Each structure stands twice: as structure tokens, then as C-alpha cells.
């Protein structure tokens, strides 16, 4: 795309008219001067456009929202012709953070521009395209060139390293006794007692019963689950981008804690559709964090219907549901899920709603750093 100075066209038209009507040698000279100036300007800009190039480099392509990245933009003239006037614009998608740059380029010269960029929200940010405008030496012709960089920066939510996450019936490492009889560990006998009417005969300790002459019943230790299902609500429940970011930071911090402690974790993100990913240890953290970083709160799927109908869970599953807002009607529907899933916990990041005793509220994402205690 190019633009021609309108005044040059007007002067050229006037010179043609004067040559046609008067035919003086002076007007012929004026006409040839304007015509060849315009002609050489076009050739100059065409050659300059072909030989001007731009590129961008960053010191890293993966970062979190609390980190700063160094962005270097290089514009180079690879021709023998000087470029008297160059304008560089939109060197990054967050264009409001940068001013236009103006400079000239001598033959085979390059200009390097260094910028520091910060990201307030998670996501994938593309570098470029860089918009370049260049003018000829007479200021008559302006050519525009767009340079596609083809690189992206992956920005993850800020991670707050959790010290402890205390949920009933949940064991991050090893085995310990849980607070409720949800699961029994049939490899760990807690007690032997005498038979009472109604006891399951499968619990009878036959060798000991034969020795004592009466039926003896085995009682087993109750152990918690060693896997967690996290449901991140990314439907249109967030009142602001900051609230959405808080929920994402809480989620990624919990995921990091679980995988660091070798807890099998399945992450479901509900937005315009259902996304899922799973991991067994910290080596799987990247693929789960990619999911949290890239899915935005733009869906309208009914989260509760997704939990009931599309996620394969059982009575003993452990579910951690993270959202930005919970209405009383929504909470009532969620409580119905608890009727057939024993370990269902709710975390809300909204501080303006009516408080409910069976919900953990994390208004500031940094509060997750010390973990939290959830008592059913």
C-alpha cells in the first residue's frame, strides 16, 4: 500500500495544463522536473520497501503475570539506498504501551529499540505484526509495510506456592486416617471385635474365629483419596478481568501443589465448551497450566449439568470447584451434587456476595499461599 502527496499531483496536473495551453520551454522543464521526481520517488520507495526488514526478540517466551520481559525490535535497511524517513508503529499487540518511533536509515544500517513489557492478565500474546511506513527523499511517496513476526509469548497466572492444603478424606502423600467413613483400606486392619447381628460376613476373621471359638470381625482403617478433580468455572460469572485472574491464580497454585506432592490431578475448565487435562506429578504441570492460561471466561455452559452429566465421577471422588461467584440458587443446585459425591468442596473468589458457611472464600489470590482448612 502506498500514498502520494496530493500537492505533488496537483502541481503535476497544473504543469501538464500549462504545457498543453502555453507550451513554453520553462513549463516543459517544470513538467519534466515534477514528472521525473515523482517517477524516481516511486522507484526509490519500491526498492526501499523490498529491502527494509524487521524482527523481534524476547529474553523468554514463558512468563507469569508478575514478571517483566525484555523486548528487542530491530529494523534494518539492506539496500544501498538511504531511507530518509521511517516510522515504526505497533511493535506489540499492547500498542497503547508504546509510542511511535521515527528515524532515518543509511545503507545497511540497523536501528535497535529496547522495551520492557509487563502483562496484567494471562493468555497468549503475539509479537507483531510491525507496521512500517517509509518516505522518499522528497517526501512525495509513502509506502507501508507490515512485517509478520510469527512468535508468541505465553503468560501464565501468578503461582503462589502453597504450604498445606487440608481437605477431609484427602491424602497428598502416603496414607492416613480420614475423618469420615468414605473409603476403607482393606489392607490395613484397625481392630478386631466380636460379631454382632448385621455384620457383613465378608469381614469375618476366620482363622482367629476358629481359634477363639466365636466369630471375630475385622475393622479396617479409613483412608482418603489420592486423586483430586478440579473444576475451574470459566463461564460468564466474573464481574471483572481481575476477578477472573484471581480464580486462575488460585487454580494454578492448587494444581502446582497437588502435582508437586505427586497427587493425581484432573483439571476441568468449563467455558464455551468443556476442556480437560490430567497429570500425576510436577512433570505434567505445564500441560495443565497451558489450559488455565489459554481458556478465557466467555462460555455460558451450565457448569452443574456438566458435573452431573459429562464428567465421569463416582461417590468417592474428590472435587474442588473454583468459581468467581455463587448465587444462592446455584449453591442449592451444587448441594444436590453432594448427595451422591461425598467430597465436594467449593472455593469462591468474590468478596461481595452473601457469605455461606460451606464455601471457602479466597478474595486475594496470595491468601492461598498458606493453604486453607476446609471443614465439612
Spans of all domains in the chain: 2-156, 184-222, 225-373
* Secondary structure element (H or E) that encloses residue 259, with its range: helix 241-260
Beta-bridged to residue 124, according to DSSP, are 154
pLDDT of residue 130: 87
Reading the block at residue 66, the C-alpha cell is: 508478575
Calpha distance 201→217 (Å, rounded): 8
Which has the higher per-residue pLDDT, 146 or 198? Answer: 146
Pairing verdict, β 141-147 and 52-58: unpaired
pLDDT above 70 for 229: yes
CATH (residue range 2-156) = 2.60.40.10
Beta-bridged to residue 269, according to DSSP, are 232, 275
- CA distances 319 to 50, 163, 175, 230, 353, Å, are 58, 20, 19, 6, 22
pLDDT tens readout for residues 242-285: 889 999 999 999 999 989 888 889 999 988 888 899 999 999 99
Question: Which 3 state secondary structure label does DSSP give 35?
Answer: helix
Give the predicted TM-score (pTM) of the model: 0.71
Q: What b/e sequence results for 125-150 when a residue is b if at least 16 CB atoms lie within 10 Å of its CB, and e otherwise?
A: bebbbbbbbbbbbeebbbbebebebe
Question: Which 3 state secondary structure label does DSSP give 364?
Answer: coil
CATH (residue range 225-373) = 3.40.50.410
Calpha distance 276→312 (Å, rounded): 12
Amino acid at each position: 500500500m502506498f500514498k502520494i502527496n496530493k500537492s505533488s499531483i496537483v502541481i503535476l496536473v497544473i504543469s501538464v495544463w500549462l504545457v498543453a495551453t502555453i507550451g513554453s520551454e520553462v513549463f516543459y522543464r517544470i513538467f519534466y522536473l515534477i514528472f521525473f521526481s515523482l517517477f524516481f520517488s516511486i522507484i526509490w520507495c519500491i526498492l526501499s520497501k523490498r529491502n527494509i526488514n524487521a524482527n523481534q526478540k524476547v529474553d523468554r517466551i514463558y512468563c507469569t503475570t508478575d514478571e517483566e520481559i525484555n523486548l528487542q525490535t530491530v529494523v534494518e535497511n539492506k539496500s544501498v539506498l538511504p531511507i530518509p524517513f521511517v516510522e515504526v508503529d505497533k511493535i506489540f499487540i499492547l500498542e497503547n504501551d508504546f509510542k511511535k518511533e521515527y528515524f532515518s536509515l543509511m545503507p545497511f544500517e540497523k536501528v535497535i529499540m529496547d522495551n520492557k513489557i509487563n502483562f496484567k492478565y494471562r493468555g497468549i500474546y503475539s509479537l507483531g505484526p510491525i507496521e512500517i511506513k517509509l518516505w522518499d527523499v522528497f517526501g512525495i511517496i509513502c509506502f507501508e509495510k507490515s512485517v509478520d513476526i510469527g512468535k508468541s509469548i505465553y503468560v501464565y497466572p501468578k503461582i503462589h506456592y502453597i504450604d498445606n492444603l487440608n481437605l477431609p478424606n484427602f491424602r497428598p502423600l502416603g496414607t492416613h486416617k480420614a475423618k469420615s467413613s468414605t473409603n476403607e483400606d482393606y489392607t490395613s486392619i484397625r481392630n478386631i471385635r466380636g460379631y454382632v447381628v448385621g455384620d457383613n460376613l465378608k469381614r469375618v476373621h476366620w482363622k482367629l474365629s476358629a481359634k477363639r471359638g466365636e466369630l471375630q470381625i475385622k475393622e479396617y482403617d479409613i483412608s482418603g483419596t489420592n486423586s483430586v478433580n478440579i473444576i475451574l468455572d470459566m463461564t460468564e460469572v466474573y464481574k471483572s478481568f481481575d476477578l477472573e485472574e484471581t480464580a486462575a491464580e488460585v487454580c494454578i497454585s492448587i494444581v502446582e501443589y497437588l502435582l508437586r506432592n505427586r497427587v493425581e490431578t484432573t483439571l476441568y475448565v468449563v467455558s464455551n465448551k468443556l476442556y480437560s487435562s490430567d497429570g500425576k506429578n510436577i512433570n505434567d504441570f505445564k500441560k495443565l497450566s497451558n489450559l488455565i492460561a489459554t481458556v478465557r471466561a466467555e462460555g455460558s455452559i451450565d457448569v452443574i449439568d456438566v458435573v452431573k452429566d459429562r464428567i465421569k465421577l463416582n461417590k468417592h471422588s474428590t472435587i474442588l470447584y473454583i468459581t468467581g461467584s455463587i448465587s444462592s440458587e446455584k449453591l442449592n443446585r451444587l448441594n444436590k451434587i453432594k448427595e451422591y459425591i461425598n467430597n465436594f468442596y467449593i472455593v469462591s473468589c468474590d468478596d461481595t456476595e452473601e457469605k455461606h458457611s460451606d464455601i471457602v472464600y479466597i478474595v486475594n489470590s496470595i491468601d492461598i499461599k498458606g493453604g486453607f482448612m476446609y471443614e465439612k
